[in-house]
């Protein structure tokens, strides 16, 4: 199946100049959703993943079903102030200003094998911050998998020390 045909492109959302990749059209299509989950799960076969981590919020939509499929646990990484128990936080720089992500301190045990799943790789900042949180807790990031890669933003360069795979890549 060509998953790129299931992803809607919305021009100038959320601001002018952005060509937004809308995955709701893929998720609402039962065959495409199942195909995407199976494909992402296949890429994690044989890696003995203990935990799938998904960053808020679209990472939940992709990560949780893949975790279920491969028999792993699921851990959310959230925007600040959303997780109720003790958290570890990581602040990272955006083009203007900074952003923060948090994880529960007891979500990952030292030595656990972790895969990060998200819908889309743009600059790579979100997933790099996610990887840093996992590593700070002693987890090993063995794979980072996305549905979509915006290759022209070169997020892969930021993630060059990790094993990164994507299903659909856009060159512009
Ligand atoms: O590679 P990056 O430049 O970090 O960008 C990619 C991230 O941006 C989007 O999430 P967003 O922060 O828009 O949140 P959402 O999933 O709640 O819409 C997307 O789901 C990725 O997580
Ligand atoms: N072009 C884009 N489409 C959807 N989500 C995004 N997150 C960052 N850039 C995006």
> CATH no. for residue 95?
3.40.50.2020
Ligand minimally distant from the alpha carbon of residue 78? 1
User: pLDDT tens-digit profile of 75-88?
Assistant: 999 999 999 999 99
Percent of the chain with pLDDT over 90: 95
Residue 31, in any domain of the structure: no
Distance, CA of 60 to CA of 2 (rounded, Å): 23
Please give the ipTM for the structure prediction: 0.98
Residues 26-80: pLDDT tens digits? 999 999 999 999 999 999 999 999 999 999 999 999 999 999 999 999 999 999 9
Q: Is 79 helix (H, G, I), strand (E, B) or coil?
A: coil
Dist CA 129 CA 101 (whole Å): 7
Q: Which residues are catalytic, by number?
A: 58, 95
Cα-to-centroid distance, 114 and ligand 2 (Å): 24
Range of the domain at 160: 48-170
- What atom of ligand 1 comes closest to residue 99's alpha carbon? 12
Angle between helices 58-70 and 30-43 in degrees, nearest 10: 70
Per-residue model confidence as pLDDT tens digits over 98-146: 899 999 999 999 999 999 999 999 999 999 999 999 999 999 999 999 9
Question: How many folded domains does the chain comprise?
Answer: 1
Q: Is residue 126 part of a domain?
A: yes
Report the separation in Å between the CA atom of 133 and the middle of ligand 2, taken as the mean of its atom positions. 22
């Amino acid at each position: 199946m060509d998953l790129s045909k299931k992803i809607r492109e919305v021009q100038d959302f959320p601001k002018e100049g952005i060509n937004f990749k809308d995955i709701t059209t893929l998720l609402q299509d039962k065959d495409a959703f199942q195909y995407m989950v199976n494909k992402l799960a296949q890429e994690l076969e044989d890696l003995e993943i203990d935990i799938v981590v998904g960053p808020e919020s679209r990472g939940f939509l992709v990560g949780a079903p893949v975790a279920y499929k491969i028999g792993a646990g699921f851990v959310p990484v959230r925007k600040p102030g959303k997780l109720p128990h003790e958290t570890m936080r990581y602040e990272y720089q955006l083009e203007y200003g900074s952003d923060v992500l948090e994880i529960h301190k007891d979500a990952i045990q030292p030595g656990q094998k972790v895969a990060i799943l998200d819908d889309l790789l743009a600059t790579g900042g979100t997933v790099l911050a996610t990887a840093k949180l996992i590593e700070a807790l002693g987890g090993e990031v063995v794979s980072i998998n996305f549905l979509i890669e915006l290759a022209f933003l070169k997020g892969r360069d930021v993630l060059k020390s990790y094993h990164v795979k994507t299903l659909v890549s856009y060159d512009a």
